[in-house]
A and B are shown apart, each in its own frame.
Chain A
């Protein structure tokens, strides 16, 4: 059951209605049951894994707090790392590692490689593993107290709005909210509604519409002109942003329906003017997770200059691998790492034209092609077609309208423009500063959003991209 499924249309109002009518002491239990039900609609077996890892981390968290021995603390943290990362490695990286080994062996011995099929990854595994790990590490660092109530901790890990695709919550931010009674707040509910609407608009009207053009191009990249591939790359940049930030908006909005606040996950990253700025605005919960638990563990910036740059590069590489068990994701991470380091080295030495926006957008789009390519060979083909510069606008027009007719292409472009108009408005606050427009504009804007979702939306079954991670 995803946020765009018909089941969810029934699920959410039922849970919402029950939550605000039952006695306060039952509310967390209801949310926990609803979250497990939500999760187990994909596969009931995944629920057992979620429960097992949650229970182990809850016990380990209590043990870490109880013990005064540093050695024992480290042992418990290591146990949690082994459990969580072990699950992640077993489901997500076994096939990747085995196939890489097989390929290397075949290259050396000249023997036929025997590749294995990728295992089915429990949905949202990468996200809830990060929830649990941050909890354990924060306890060991003395930042938070261990949760004594298993239900509260289990709800923190499994809270359905953010369970399968984030934002990656910290116990200090979200978990503690489950300890307190939530009071009905109309303004919070309305702001939740606005976020949900905007999230659905981004997902259904912009991202899924763009997917109808992007997917066919990336399925057969060898048949397309370099310019078409570049346009598809640019479209994918907007698609993946609208898809994921749309999910985060819906998740945050739904959490507000129940009186909870999730941390801001996106701050208009496509308006960034450098990669440095981009990573301060893009997928903030993941970026800050890697910063706090990986980058700092590697020594952060309190090391020699070359080691610091290496640390940064490693974080990007591992972040790429976290997104997907494939060399194309590693390449994506490496590209970001290299350019991030170049930006640091060249800081104040060169001036990027056009305020850096075009540079950032083009680099991000080209790098994301590695993120989207089906495999390494496709990626090579795409980059070869793009960088051979044998582009033809006429052929691209024929190719794009051949995929999706003229109207979907026009709607896609209109969707991109509306996204940038909205984000520029938010960034510069020029329209909101007009007091008369505020009262007239807001209800009208959200009414138009609602109607657009149903009139212009693309509902032909595109799950959220980040479910795959």
Chain B
């Protein structure tokens, strides 16, 4: 029995060692999704403009255009599936290793509003970055399983899956994945969904835009972080596909409430929610996201307004 216990402990220790090897492989990725997470949570950066938000931020704001329009350096740390409390945590996590940017652009949209879930979308992709204490605390607040994910290898490993195993192997072998080239300064394009060829046939689910206390607190937290680090927060609203907008309940009311909050706190407010691009299905990858072509057009529109809020 004693020998069995020793082997059991050895096997458990081995899972910790293998997990660490896998995480190192993930962090070794020099391009794509994990290079973006490296930038956001590990690297020391000095960007002037930081774009934060969910997948709409990630795939609609194209930093190279912002750079050429403003003469500044920007990076997009929009995180797919991120809810507002996690967006706040991602900003804190970025600041743990990087210099505060001059400007923080927070993208708001229908999908940022509503009840936050108790899980984090694609949560295993953050496992390799839990040494970033701000990220770890933020994730733990959003999903109570994160302490177990961090400390118990037998609990976290089953969630890791082949996708991340593959990513780790790519990192160790220094071979980019086929999707890596699509990422540019944190921007990741939305792949085109065939449904958008016939948008009228798409069934849009009624979505309630509710500015819950949790979301208000998270926005307040982002504002406080910006004030504390002397960063200028800019709130922006990106356009929803017009049919998707029709299915939204209380969206305009919530936007007005946010606009009022921005005015009270003297936060610049860029509302591009009514941009005419929202009627052009060919510029949408799916009903909730612009495709790359749409993102390039939208970013140009956005930059033309943004300039007035930048300090000379």
User: CB within 8 Å of B: which residues of A?
Assistant: 186, 190, 193, 209, 404-405, 407-408, 411, 443, 446-447, 450-451, 454-460
B4 touches A190 (CB 8 A): yes
Q: How far is the CA of A287 from the CA of B3 in the complex (A)?
A: 39
Q: Identify whether the interface residues of A are mostly helix, strand, loop, or mixed.
A: helix
- Does B1 interact with chain A (Cβ within 8 Å)? yes
Q: Which residues of A contact B157 (CB under 8 A)?
A: 454-455
Minimum distance in angstroms from B183 CB to a CB of chain A: 18
B162 touches A447 (CB 8 A): no
4 pairs of A and B residues whose beta carbons are closest in the complex: A459-B158, A454-B157, A450-B11, A407-B166
Question: Out of A405, A455, A458, A459, which one reaches B166, CB within 8 Å?
Answer: A405
Q: How far is the CA of A209 from the CA of B169 in the complex (A)?
A: 18
Q: Which residues of B contact A450 (CB under 8 A)?
A: 8, 11, 15
Q: How many A-B residue pairs have CB under 8 A?
A: 47
Asked, given contacts A407-B169, A443-B3, A446-B7, whether A455 binds B162 with beta carbons under 8 Å apart, the answer is no
Q: How far is the CA of A125 from the CA of B183 in the complex (A)?
A: 52
| Residue interface bits B141-184, CB-to-A below 8 A is 1, else 0 | 00000000000011001110111011001000000000000000
A459 touches B161 (CB 8 A): yes
Q: Which residues of A contact B10 (CB under 8 A)?
A: 447
A456 touches B165 (CB 8 A): yes
Chain B interface extent, by class:
20 to 34
Asked, given contacts A411-B162, A456-B165, A457-B158, whether A451 binds B11 with beta carbons under 8 Å apart, the answer is yes
- Does B18 interact with chain A (Cβ within 8 Å)? yes
CB closest chain-B residue, reference A4: B158
A193 touches B7 (CB 8 A): no
Can you show 29 pairs from A to B with CB atoms below 8 A apart? A190-B4, A193-B4, A209-B162, A405-B162, A405-B163, A405-B166, A407-B162, A407-B165, A408-B162, A443-B3, A443-B7, A447-B14, A450-B11, A451-B11, A451-B15, A451-B18, A454-B15, A454-B153, A454-B154, A454-B157, A455-B157, A455-B165, A456-B162, A456-B165, A458-B161, A458-B162, A459-B158, A459-B161, A460-B161
Q: Which residues of B contact A190 (CB under 8 A)?
A: 4
Choose among A193, A209, A454, A458 the residue with the greatest number of B CB atoms under 10 Å from its CB. A454
| Residue interface bits B15-39, CB-to-A below 8 A is 1, else 0 | 1001000100000000000000000
Q: How far is the CA of A461 from the CA of B61 in the complex (A)?
A: 36
Minimum distance in angstroms from B118 CB to a CB of chain A: 16
Beyond the given A447-B10, A460-B161, please list 17 additional residue pairs across the A-B interface where CB-CB is below 8 A: A190-B4, A209-B162, A404-B162, A405-B166, A407-B165, A407-B169, A408-B162, A411-B162, A447-B14, A450-B11, A450-B15, A454-B15, A454-B153, A454-B158, A456-B165, A458-B162, A459-B159
Q: How far is the CA of A447 from the CA of B153 in the complex (A)?
A: 15
Minimum distance in angstroms from A442 CB to a CB of chain B: 10
Asked, given contacts A447-B14, A459-B158, whether A186 binds B165 with beta carbons under 8 Å apart, the answer is no
Q: How far is the CA of A123 from the CA of B159 in the complex (A)?
A: 27
Q: Which residues of A contact B163 (CB under 8 A)?
A: 405
Choose among A209, A447, A458 the residue with the greatest number of B CB atoms under 10 Å from its CB. A447
Q: Which residues of B contact A407 (CB under 8 A)?
A: 162, 165-166, 169
CB closest chain-A residue, reference B18: A455
Q: Which residues of B contact A446 (CB under 8 A)?
A: 7
Minimum distance in angstroms from B179 CB to a CB of chain A: 11
Q: Which residues of B contact A454 (CB under 8 A)?
A: 15, 153-154, 157-158
Choose among A190, A193, A404, A451 the residue with the greatest number of B CB atoms under 10 Å from its CB. A451
CB closest chain-A residue, reference B160: A455
Choose among B1, B8, B18, B157 the residue with the greatest number of A CB atoms under 10 Å from its CB. B157
CB closest chain-A residue, reference B163: A405
Minimum distance in angstroms from A398 CB to a CB of chain B: 14
Minimum distance in angstroms from A401 CB to a CB of chain B: 11
CB closest chain-A residue, reference B167: A407
CB closest chain-A residue, reference B159: A459
CB closest chain-A residue, reference B162: A408
CB closest chain-A residue, reference B157: A454
B1 touches A186 (CB 8 A): yes
A455 touches B3 (CB 8 A): no
Minimum distance in angstroms from A422 CB to a CB of chain B: 18
